[in-house]
A = this chain, B = another copy of it.
Amino acid sequence: MESLKNDLLLRAARGEQTERVPVWMMRQAGRILAEYRAVREKAGSFIKLATNPELAAEVTIQPVDLLGVDGAIIFSDILVIPEAMGLPYEMEEKKGPVFPKVVQSVADIDSLRIAEPEADLAYVLDAIKIVKRELDGRVPLIGFAGAPFTIFCYMIEGRGSKTFSVAKKALYADPEFSHKLLQKITDSTIAYLKAQIAAGANLVQIFDSWAGILSPAQYREYSLPYIKQICDAISEAPVTVFAKGAFFARQEIGNLNCSVVGLDWNMDPTESRMLVPNKTLQGNLDPCVLYASYDQIRKEVRNMIEAFGTQRYIANLGHGVYPDTNPDKVRCFIDTVKEFATTSAL
């Protein structure tokens, strides 16, 4: 058994007592840090950085050293899964990910493979191994994947979208086709998360970034069952489910075989505690709070911790940190959690 010097995050995820609330930030390994931008520059592109294990490991560890977070999250992208299944993507400046080919027919689905992580995603697993060696037990490492529905959106739509109406059209127009693709993504994702854990990830997070575009009924049919399959399949490490915008599904997500439920900043902490009484909660400061003054950031962080309490709680933002955030404001957020959120402080 690995011994971690700081296992707050892992203990909070498991529902164990912690002497202080652990804190990390979605997108902490990224453009907010000048040190990240330098490595990204050296790599030449986002995708070259993400597929280079040494460089990916380097930027993964940066926020542990530079910001003092209680966990590292492997630098990667949720879209490595479609790529590993046979649907490559490109990252266009300002536009984000673009898939030259999209899935349009059952024949297209049949032509995709179920990802074999050791072959198709070796670069991520190698990066995890390097991170683990270099972290040397300082903090736990988080692995992650997109939720099948969110991945489905990109594979059908081919790019980001405000409404993902093309992808949703597929759900309404051809449920059988949609379930077939979702199942193939799910099988790939389960294999991938298990491989990340085997390579050294201490816990894993499922990002359902586009959950909020579905109606409650659609979410119940096209997203939740596949997240459930993943949660049921992963017993090796704690699983966090973060379904942005799926306020209506909090109770159902809380009933899954997961350890942690992630919340966005629309979701009230007290109400969320009532809806999800038996799980650890993670979140949920509005990333825009980090544009405020230091005093106001401290006030908002303290309000958040008072609302969540100090147990079964992992402090985080309600979404990824915005790239133009001042790193000193980020440190203010992290330091305030560390100073304020001890068992004795409340």
Q: A268 at interface (Cβ–Cβ under 8 A)?
A: yes
Q: A266 at interface (Cβ–Cβ under 8 A)?
A: yes
Q: Which of B165, B173, B291, B292 contacts A292 (CB 8 A)?
A: B173
Given contacts A165-B288, A288-B165, contact A268 B171 (CB under 8 A): no
Q: A123 at interface (Cβ–Cβ under 8 A)?
A: no
Return the chain B residue nearest A266 by Cβ.
Answer: B248
Q: A15 at interface (Cβ–Cβ under 8 A)?
A: no
Is A265 a contact partner of B215 (Cβ separation < 8 A)? yes
What is the size, in residues, of chain A's interface with B at 8 Å between Cβ atoms? Answer: 32
Interface set, chain A 296-344, CB cutoff 8 A to B: 296, 318, 322, 324
Q: A278 at interface (Cβ–Cβ under 8 A)?
A: no
Chain B residues with Cβ under 8 A from A287's Cβ?
165
Is B247 a contact partner of A169 (Cβ separation < 8 A)? no
Chain B residues with Cβ under 8 A from A247's Cβ?
247-248, 266
- Residue interface bits A243-261, CB-to-B below 8 A is 1, else 0: 0010110000000000000
Return the chain B residue nearest A292 by Cβ.
Answer: B172
What distance in Å separates the Cβ of A305 from its nearest Cβ neighbour in chain B?
15
What distance in Å separates the Cβ of A189 from its nearest Cβ neighbour in chain B?
24
Chain B residues with Cβ under 8 A from A225's Cβ?
none
Is B212 a contact partner of A266 (Cβ separation < 8 A)? yes
- Residue interface bits A150-166, CB-to-B below 8 A is 1, else 0: 00000000001011010
Return the chain B residue nearest A286 by Cβ.
Answer: B215
Q: Which of B169, B268, B292 contacts A248 (CB 8 A)?
A: B268
Is A266 a contact partner of B286 (Cβ separation < 8 A)? no
Interface set, chain A 163-189, CB cutoff 8 A to B: 163, 165, 168-169, 171-173
Q: A104 at interface (Cβ–Cβ under 8 A)?
A: no
Q: A218 at interface (Cβ–Cβ under 8 A)?
A: yes
Is B248 a contact partner of A168 (Cβ separation < 8 A)? no
Q: A289 at interface (Cβ–Cβ under 8 A)?
A: yes
- Residue interface bits A172-209, CB-to-B below 8 A is 1, else 0: 11000000000000000000000000000000000000
| 27 A–B pairs (Cβ distance < 8 Å), ordered by A | A162-B162, A165-B287, A165-B288, A165-B322, A165-B324, A168-B288, A168-B291, A169-B288, A171-B288, A172-B289, A172-B291, A172-B292, A173-B291, A173-B293, A212-B266, A214-B266, A215-B265, A215-B266, A215-B286, A216-B266, A216-B268, A218-B286, A245-B245, A245-B266, A247-B266, A248-B267, A248-B268
Listed from nearest, the 8 A-B pairs whose CB atoms lie closest are: A172-B292, A168-B288, A169-B291, A215-B265, A172-B291, A215-B286, A165-B322, A173-B291
A positions within 8 Å CB-CB of B: 160, 162-163, 165, 168-169, 171-173, 212, 214-216, 218, 245, 247-248, 265-268, 286-289, 291-293, 296, 318, 322, 324
